Amino acid sequence: MAGCEELLHPTVTTDLATSAVGDLLERTYRVEMQAVLRLEDEGHAPETVIHDKARCHFNDWDYFLHETGPNASVEWLRCLRWLRRGTVDVLARTEGDAMLFEALIVRAFSAGVRRITLSKVGEEGSWLISGMQVRISDDFLPSGPLATWHDTEPFGDTPEPEEPPLEAEGEDGAAEE
């Protein structure tokens, strides 16, 4: 939501506010990439890297941009595809004469969790994406050298298996045959 100063769900901080597709790379991914680089050399972190738990504070952003050449629109679709099966929590508060609604959609993956917030003003307003977060767990180590959390399942091009459709229910609530 453009101009969003404060999100209702505190887990998605204001530095992750999103109002355009390009914000996904410049805010969401960049925040986590610049804080986290996971390296492993035969089961251990290289001696040349200073770690705080499983994290090291090395800017991996430039490497990511150079090696993957991410496309904001493609990444956006991957995010939405992954989050469509997430859990939802909706909060509301009064803003002046209108009600502000915010939905938080969350879904875990092998490296951490993805979150997205959707906001709308008033009952008749449209839901707009207002924030997005990728949060990597402290104990995540990638599958190999130079791999990052972006090499895990929600970021690939392999579609998830579709769930079977729900059976249609008749007027009495029983499944129709």
Q: What is the pLDDT of residues 25-64, one digit of tens each?
A: 888 888 887 665 544 445 555 554 444 444 444 456 777 8
Q: What is the pLDDT of residues 88-111, one digit of tens each?
A: 999 999 988 889 999 999 999 999
pLDDT of residue 88: 94
How would you write the chain as a 3-class SS string? CCCCCCCCCCCCCHHHECCCCCHHHHHHHHHHHHHCCCCCECCECCCCCCEECCEECCCCHHHHHHHHCCCHHHHHHHHHHHHCCCEEEEEEEEECCEEEEEEEEEEEECCEEEEEEEEEECCCCCCEEEEEEEEECCCCCCCCCCCCHHHCHHHCCCCCCCCCCCCCECCCCCECC
pLDDT of residue 54: 47
Where are the chain's structural domains? 14-151
Does 148 score more than 70 pLDDT?
yes
